[in-house]
Amino acid sequence: MAGSLNKVLLIGRLGADPEIKQMVNGKSVARLSVATSQSWKDKSTGERKEKTEWHRVVIFNEGLVNVVQQYLKKGANVYIEGALTTRKWKDEASGQDKYSTEVVLQGYNSSLTMLDGRSKSESSNLVSENKSSLPNDDFQPSNSDLDDEIPF
């Protein structure tokens, strides 16, 4: 369809160490669990509230899989660009159809940038397929309560 777009942009933290697996064709795939959070002040109580969303991220690009395997661990802050995809499979035990919605990084239109632990130029050159850095080069991740809860 002309004029359509499937693009996902996430800035979040890994909730677990990356999972690297070999596919049948011998290539590697990386799976990440990325948390994004938003917080707000409840108007009626004045209480601070927070909601965390978990995103499944799948990386098929061999170069990015190698970088993920070497440098990313639980708690890492990352910027991800990919496409939203839904997979369908049959559960062998129940025979029911199952679905999984994931952010997929594959091909030239995807990128992954580490936002902490390395200098900006190093991380950008290491893990971005087609981008030199975030759109705003002055971006600095803010300190939040999440930093205190995740040991790394």
Domain covering 8-132: architecture: Beta Barrel (2.40)
Q: Where are the domains of the chain?
A: 8-132
Report DSSP letters for 48-88, one per residue. Answer: EEEEEEEEEEEE--HHHHHHHHHH--TT-EEEEEEEEEEEE
What is the reported pTM? 0.71
| pLDDT, tens digit (0-9, with 9 covering 90-100), for 10-23 | 999 999 999 999 99
Helices (H) and strands (E) in the chain — how many of each? 3, 7
pLDDT band per the 50, 70, 90 thresholds, residue 25: very high
| pLDDT, tens digit (0-9, with 9 covering 90-100), for 84-133 | 999 998 989 999 999 999 999 998 889 999 998 654 444 444 444 443 33
